[in-house]
Chains A and B, each alone.
Chain A
Amino acid sequence: MATKNAEAYEAANKSYEWGFHSDIEQDFAPKGLSEDTVRFISAKKGEPEWMLDWRLQAYRLWLTLDTPDWAKLQIDPIDYQDAYYYAEPKAKPKLGSLDEVDPEILRVYEKLGIPIEEQKMLAGVEELGADGQPKRRVAVDAVFDSVSVATTFRKELESAGVIFRSISEAIKEYPDLVRKWLGKVVPQHDNYFAALNCAVFSDGTFVYIPEGVRCPMELSTYFRINAENTGQFERTLIVADKGAYVSYLEGCTAPMRDENQLHAAVVELVALDDAEIKYSTVQNWYPGDENGKGGIYNFVTKRALCQGRNSKVSWTQVETGSAITWKYPSCVLNGENSVGEFYSVAVTNNRQQADTGTKMIHNGKGSRSTIVSKGISAGRSDNTYRGLVRVAPGAEGVRNFTQCDSLLLGDQCGAHTVPYIEVRNPSAQIEHEATTSKISDDQLFYAMQRGLDQEAAVALIVNGFAKEVLQQLPMEFAVEAQKLLGISLEGSVG
């Protein structure tokens, strides 16, 4: 097996396939974090005063908070004064069409492998499918570094009444709507990183689906971190009004870097009566080299408020990147018969660390939740599922089903499952299943004997393991995600 291990080791340590650096001049905020930084950001974005006040309040709150230390993560101390908090592509006049977008930026998207279909859409080409109807479309609100560069399909969305904007624009154009919900799902004081985000968030996305509207296309935002030492603080707010439906896709990759890059996003979702939000993420940020040097710190707060009766929020995530992942997309199930779902695949390799899971807070009667978590660990990585299921005293007839499966590749990685269950109503039915398995030599040999090389065999077995989650993804993402799983684990078998 020695040769096989050596091969496997080599393959597992292939350099980050999508690591590259494009050169676009940045307009930096001064280095470091202070009230002045917050004022700089707010001024740069031309924000109204209430927004600046809100940011400053968060900043002062942040100063009083401590970094959360309960996760199973080794995090080197972060010097928050040694980073830039704002960068935008070189100032340009407002763009009327994509032709005016910096070709360098478009090249970056191309390298990122944004699907051809979407590139055509970005270019304004509309193809017909076999049935003579336009193919299913994806609206892309592209976030390059910190500023939305281009928003497509705005008109069609507008005619449906859907608002799909960068959050900076929304703050100016729809201040009442933004003010009503911003910080209501994840309050400023929720945690250290959320407070930081509130103070310095650079840009992000705002979506509002009006009552009874089914969003005519899937909404998609590509995030890209592209400036050295620039922390990225995205802010997303999605509100689905009564009876509305929206599917939102978020995908990320990042260029190779030597220094750690902090990413502390906040995502807030609100679903009113009978509304449904499907939020899918494929995350592939630079995970650091084989020794854990470099790589993104991904400290994200994602939470959904299922406020209305029969409301439903479904989180699906495929996490393959980042040096450290601290992320718990959650659902607060206030509405009667509301539904929360969490489907997750988290892959860690080399020295990556992931502590991820969900919280399902059942306050509403008859609320239900499903959690399916698939952790895949390789190399010397650590992969933890941490999840909370809480049932409030007044919440009758709550149901939860949780399934946590861990797959180990090699004998130097770790998989951990930390479920917290707090039930204060005796009518609740809570189920928890957990398994841990290894890719066995027998499985590998079997697949290889049939003709697959080792990498293909591992990718096949891992994709089989993660299938329940992958099939929750919209088709465009499922294909990408399957490839990512293969790339993330190439040959990492011991």
Chain B
Amino acid sequence: MLVLAPHERAAAGLFLGFQYPVEIPGVSNVQFLREALNAQRKGRDEKPLSGAEFLKLARAQADALSMDQDMLKRPVNVGFSGGEKKRNEMVQMGIVDPKLAILDETDSGLDIDALRIVGEGINRIMRKPDKAVILITHYERLLSYVAPDFVHVLSAGRIIRSGGPELAAELEREGYAGVVA
């Protein structure tokens, strides 16, 4: 996978949820996502989606994540609040429907309700037999919605401990210092 360019990895089914989603002025969400999705489909020798087909898909995903339809028409992430940006990331994930998602601090900047919506979104989109999610987080709170199968503690670029969901609970109780020591 490392020899592939980013767009080739995307076509192969990898999705990266950004900690700080980037703004693209003048390009609407719909336009951006349709071009991106159709580029991925092309990379997999699939037929491109028509405008109508795509819009149906995008609207369904926005609804599922309680995102206002108008936000699909707005320029990508421009003027979005932190929480809206993260929710938009999940809408994008729902549209491209990846096999593996790496979600980088997707929970940061979310209020309690948004956290629940995003957590449910992750489950809905990714909780399937042939899919996997690597969820990167500092807190346990998102894990109360998205139950992890495995928990790894990463320190200075190395996995220093691995375990099941109980490890997350231990971290929350004792802090990272206790685990690293």
Q: Which residues of A contact B (CB under 8 A)?
A: 440, 442-443, 445-454, 456-457, 460-461, 463-468
Residues B27 and A460 in contact, CB atoms below 8 Å apart: yes
Residues B26 and A463 in contact, CB atoms below 8 Å apart: yes
Residue of B nearest to A446 (CB): B22
Residues B36 and A447 in contact, CB atoms below 8 Å apart: yes
CA distance A461 to B76 in the complex (A): 11
Residues B22 and A464 in contact, CB atoms below 8 Å apart: no
Residue of B nearest to A468 (CB): B26
The residues of A that contact B23 with a CB separation of less than 8 Å are: 443
Residues B26 and A451 in contact, CB atoms below 8 Å apart: no
Residues B5 and A448 in contact, CB atoms below 8 Å apart: yes
Residues A450 and B92 in contact, CB atoms below 8 Å apart: yes
In the assembled complex, B175 has its CB within 8 A of some CB on chain A: no
Residues B96 and A450 in contact, CB atoms below 8 Å apart: yes
CA distance A181 to B37 in the complex (A): 54
Residue of A nearest to B11 (CB): A451
The residues of A that contact B35 with a CB separation of less than 8 Å are: 452, 456, 460
Residues B36 and A461 in contact, CB atoms below 8 Å apart: no
In the assembled complex, B62 has its CB within 8 A of some CB on chain A: no
Q: Which residues of B contact A (CB under 8 A)?
A: 5-7, 9-11, 15-16, 18, 21-27, 31-33, 35-37, 39-40, 43, 75, 92, 96
Residues B25 and A465 in contact, CB atoms below 8 Å apart: yes
Residues B24 and A460 in contact, CB atoms below 8 Å apart: yes
7 A-B pairs within 8 Å (CB atoms) are namely A440-B22, A449-B7, A449-B15, A449-B16, A450-B92, A452-B36, A453-B39
CA distance A466 to B96 in the complex (A): 27
CB distance from A343 to the nearest CB of B (A): 14
Given the known interface contacts A461-B27, A463-B26, A464-B24, the answer about A448 and B32 at a Cβ–Cβ threshold of 8 Å is no
CA distance A132 to B39 in the complex (A): 35
Residue of B nearest to A459 (CB): B35
Q: Name the 8 nearest CB pairs between A and B, nearest first.
A: A464-B26, A464-B27, A451-B40, A450-B36, A467-B26, A448-B6, A446-B22, A451-B36
Residues A443 and B24 in contact, CB atoms below 8 Å apart: yes
The residues of A that contact B9 with a CB separation of less than 8 Å are: 449
Given the known interface contacts A446-B18, A460-B32, A460-B35, the answer about A452 and B7 at a Cβ–Cβ threshold of 8 Å is yes
Residue of B nearest to A448 (CB): B6
Residues A447 and B24 in contact, CB atoms below 8 Å apart: yes
Residue of B nearest to A460 (CB): B27
Residue of B nearest to A437 (CB): B25
The residues of A that contact B92 with a CB separation of less than 8 Å are: 450
Q: Can you add 8 more A-B contacts, CB < 8 Å, to A451-B43, A460-B32?
A: A443-B24, A447-B36, A450-B32, A450-B92, A456-B39, A460-B24, A460-B35, A464-B27
The residues of B that contact A457 with a CB separation of less than 8 Å are: 7
Given the known interface contacts A442-B22, A443-B22, the answer about A451 and B37 at a Cβ–Cβ threshold of 8 Å is yes
Residues B26 and A450 in contact, CB atoms below 8 Å apart: no
CA distance A456 to B26 in the complex (A): 15
The residues of B that contact A447 with a CB separation of less than 8 Å are: 24, 32, 36
CB distance from A404 to the nearest CB of B (A): 15
CA distance A463 to B21 in the complex (A): 20
The residues of B that contact A443 with a CB separation of less than 8 Å are: 22-24
The residues of B that contact A468 with a CB separation of less than 8 Å are: 26
The residues of A that contact B10 with a CB separation of less than 8 Å are: 448-451
CA distance A452 to B8 in the complex (A): 9
CA distance A443 to B35 in the complex (A): 15
Interface centre among B16, B32, B40, B43 (most CB of A within 10 A): B32
The residues of A that contact B33 with a CB separation of less than 8 Å are: 450
The residues of A that contact B96 with a CB separation of less than 8 Å are: 450-451
CA distance A463 to B32 in the complex (A): 11
CB distance from A271 to the nearest CB of B (A): 30
Residues B6 and A464 in contact, CB atoms below 8 Å apart: no
The residues of A that contact B37 with a CB separation of less than 8 Å are: 451
Residues B43 and A446 in contact, CB atoms below 8 Å apart: no
The residues of A that contact B27 with a CB separation of less than 8 Å are: 460-461, 463-464, 467
Interface centre among B7, B21, B96 (most CB of A within 10 A): B7
CB distance from B108 to the nearest CB of A (A): 17
Contact of A453 among B7, B16, B24 (CB under 8 A): B7
CB distance from A3 to the nearest CB of B (A): 9
The residues of B that contact A446 with a CB separation of less than 8 Å are: 18, 21-22, 24
The residues of A that contact B15 with a CB separation of less than 8 Å are: 449
